[in-house]
C-alpha cells in the first residue's frame, strides 16, 4: 500500500444541508433547512442530485429531513472523524489537524507533531481559520454494501451530538453499531447568540416508527445472519483503521477546494467607514475589555492611535 495518503471509505455521494451560491461575484455558502443528497458530479449550476434524493424526498412531502441509514463500522471513531482543522486558502492544502492535545502541522522543516492548544489559544488559528471539522460516513440504500455517503460539517452542535449518539448506540447494542437500522435527522434550535434564528444540526436517532426493542432485535438478527454468511465485521474495522492511519491528512487537495469554499470562506472584509468590532469572543476577552474600560487613562490628552496602526480583528464567522 502506498504511504502518505489516507485510505477512506468509497464515496457514492454527499449529504449536505446547504449549498454554495454566487453573490456579488463571490461564491458563498448558503444554509438550508433540509438535507440534499448529491452525486459526486459538479456542474456550473452546482452538484448534481443523486437519484435517491428524489425517492426519499417524495416520501416526505418534499422536505427531506430524515434519512434511513446504517453505519459501516462498529467503532464510532471510524464512522465519524472529528478534529480541529486549518487549511491554506491559497493552495487548498490542509496545514494543521489536531485533537486539542497534539496536532500534525506542515512546516518548513516538513510534517511535525506539536502541542495543540485548540483554536481559542492557538496563534495560528486566529480569525476563524481553524475550526472543528467532522466527516461522517453512512450507508443509504442497497446499491453498494461498502459504498457510503459522506456528511461534512464544521458545526459544533452536529459533531457533539453525532459523537454522543454513536457512543451510546454502540453501548446499548452490545457492539453491534454496524447492524442497527438508524436514521439521520435534521434538528433545529435557537440560542441567544443566534438572536432567535434557528440553527440546524444533524442527529442520529431510531428510525421513524421503530421502538428501541425492535431496533436492537433487528441488529441481533442481522449480526447473526452476517456471521453465518462469513461477514467479518472486526476485520473490516481493522482494515478501515489501517487506512485512516496511512497518512496525516484525510482530505485531498481536490476535495479541499470544495471544503474551503463551503466551510472556510474568506472573512468579510471590513471597510474603512465601519467601526472595528468590539465584541469580545471569550470570557477572557470580556474581562480584559471590562478592565481596560474601567482603568484611568495615563494621559488625559493622549492622542488616539493612527488608523493605519490600529490592530484590526476580523469578525469571527459562526
Percent of the chain whose predicted confidence (pLDDT) is above 90: 54
Rounded-to-integer distance, Cα 216 and Cα 176, Å: 9
φ/ψ (deg, to 5) at 110? 115, -160
Closest to 187 in 3D by CA, of 165, 213, 218, 209: 165
9 pLDDT higher than 90: yes
Task: Give me the residue spans of the domains in the chain.
Answer: 11-263
Strand partners, 203: 185
Give pLDDT tens digits for 111-169: 899 999 988 889 888 777 899 999 999 999 988 999 999 999 999 999 999 999 999 99
Give the pLDDT of residue 19.
73
Record the cell numbers describing residue 143, joined without a space: 446499491
Q: Which residue has the cell 443509504?
A: 140
Mean pLDDT of the chain: 83
More confident residue, 312 or 214: 214
Give the pLDDT of residue 3.
80
Rounded-to-integer distance, Cα 266 and Cα 220, Å: 48
Give pLDDT tens digits for 260-310: 777 777 765 544 443 333 444 444 444 445 445 554 444 434 434 444 444
Closest to 220 in 3D by CA, of 185, 285, 158, 176: 176
Pairing of strands 80-87, 130-138: antiparallel
Record the cell numbers describing residue 100, joined without a space: 486539542
Amino acid at each position: 500500500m502506498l504511504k502518505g495518503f489516507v485510505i477512506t471509505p468509497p464515496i457514492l455521494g454527499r449529504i449536505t444541508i446547504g449549498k454554495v451560491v454566487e453573490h456579488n461575484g463571490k461564491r458563498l455558502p448558503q444554509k438550508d433547512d433540509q438535507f440534499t443528497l448529491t452525486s459526486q458530479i459538479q456542474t456550473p449550476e452546482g452538484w448534481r442530485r443523486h437519484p435517491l434524493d428524489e425517492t426519499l424526498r417524495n416520501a416526505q412531502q418534499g422536505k427531506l429531513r430524515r434519512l434511513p441509514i446504517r453505519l459501516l463500522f462498529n467503532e464510532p471513531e471510524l464512522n465519524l472523524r472529528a478534529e480541529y482543522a486549518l487549511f491554506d486558502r491559497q493552495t487548498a492544502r490542509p496545514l494543521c489537524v489536531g485533537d486539542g492535545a497534539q496536532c500534525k502541522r506542515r512546516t518548513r522543516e516538513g510534517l511535525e507533531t506539536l502541542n495543540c492548544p485548540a483554536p481559542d489559544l492557538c496563534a495560528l488559528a486566529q480569525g476563524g481559520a481553524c475550526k472543528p471539522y467532522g466527516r461522517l460516513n453512512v450507508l443509504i440504500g442497497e446499491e453498494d454494501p461498502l459504498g457510503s455517503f459522506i456528511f461534512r460539517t464544521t458545526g459544533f452542535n452536529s459533531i457533539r451530538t453525532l459523537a454522543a449518539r454513536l457512543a451510546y448506540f454502540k453501548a446499548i447494542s452490545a457492539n453491534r453499531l454496524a447492524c442497527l437500522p438508524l436514521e439521520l435527522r435534521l434538528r433545529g434550535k435557537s440560542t441567544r447568540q443566534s438572536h432567535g434564528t434557528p440553527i440546524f444540526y444533524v442527529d442520529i436517532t431510531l428510525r421513524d416508527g421503530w421502538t428501541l426493542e425492535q431496533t436492537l432485535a433487528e441488529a441481533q438478527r442481522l449480526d447473526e445472519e452476517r456471521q453465518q454468511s462469513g461477514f467479518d465485521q472486526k476485520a473490516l474495522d481493522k482494515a478501515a483503521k489501517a487506512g485512516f492511519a496511512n497518512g496525516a491528512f484525510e482530505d485531498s487537495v481536490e476535495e479541499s477546494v470544495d471544503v474551503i469554499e463551503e466551510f472556510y470562506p474568506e472573512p468579510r472584509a471590513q471597510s474603512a467607514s465601519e467601526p472595528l468590532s468590539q465584541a469580545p469572543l471569550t470570557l477572557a476577552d470580556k474581562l480584559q475589555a471590562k478592565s481596560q474600560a474601567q482603568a484611568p487613562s495615563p494621559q488625559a490628552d493622549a492622542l488616539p492611535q493612527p488608523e493605519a496602526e490600529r490592530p484590526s480583528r476580523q469578525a469571527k464567522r459562526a
